[in-house]
Every structure is written in structure tokens, then in C-alpha cells.
Amino acid sequence: MERRNRDRLKMTAFCRIVPLANRKRSTWKRIENISGAGMLVVWSRGEADDRLPNVGELHTVELQLPAHPVFGRRALQFKTKVVRVYRQANGQVMAGFESTQGRFRSIQSASWSESNESDMVH
């Protein structure tokens, strides 16, 4: 049964996900598609050691944007809630996030040092 009420943009972008319960446990995941109401994230490729999110958990999701000549380095930051977690036939675990609030924030290059800039949005 289709549960979506908005069109989704299919994209591949890496984002940083931070659980609100423990902000020191940020992790990098890949966004599969996104809309104004939420996003689908590839949580795991089937690795057993990856801790899966639980439905109802709250997270902050940050998506780095390309540099802008006026605004500089910015990220789109969403407050989200996990609404669905499921395992595909190939073993990948997908997590559906509902986004309740989004905002832009300025970032310094060092705060995104865990990732290579060229790998961010494709």
C-alpha cells in the first residue's frame, strides 16, 4: 500500500544523522529519495553490527549543500522521526524518516571533515 502523499525526488546524497538521545553518535548514511515531508535512507547494506533505528526515534539529519558565492557553505538541517524500518530482499535495511522542520545553517569545512566534498551530492 502506497503511504506517500507527496512526490519524491530520487537522488543519491550522503547525510549526517544524529540521534537526539545521544548527539555524540552521529553516523553517515545515504539518502535514496526525499520530499517535503520526509526521506528514505539506506541505513545498512546488511551488516549485522549496524544498530538499527527504532520507529519513533528522533534524529537530526544534515545534508550539505554546494557552496554558494553569497551564503558560503551551508547545510539543510531537518528534525526527523523514524516512521518505518524494513529489510529488502538483498539485505539492505531502509529507514523512512518524516521531517517535521527544516532550516538552513552555516557550516565550517572542519565540521564536515569526515567526508570528501566531491562525494556529497551526485
Give residue limits of the domains in the chain: 9-113
| pLDDT value at residue 5 | 60
- Mean pLDDT, all residues of the chain: 81
Which three-class secondary structure state does DSSP give residue 117?
Answer: helix
Mean pLDDT (whole number) for 19-24: 86
Contact of 76 with 107, CB cutoff 8 Å: no
The tens digit of pLDDT for each residue in 64-117 reads: 888 888 888 888 899 999 999 999 998 899 999 999 778 888 876 545 544 444
Dist. CA 9–CA 33, nearest whole Å: 5
pTM equals 0.74
> Tell me, what DSSP letter sits at residue 50?
S
DSSP conformation letters of 52-106: PP-TT-EEEEEEEPPPBTTTBSEEEEEEEEEEEEEE-TTS-EEEEEEEEEEEEEE
Contact of 95 with 55, CB cutoff 8 Å: no
- Fold entry, domain 9-113: Thrombin, subunit H (2.40.10)
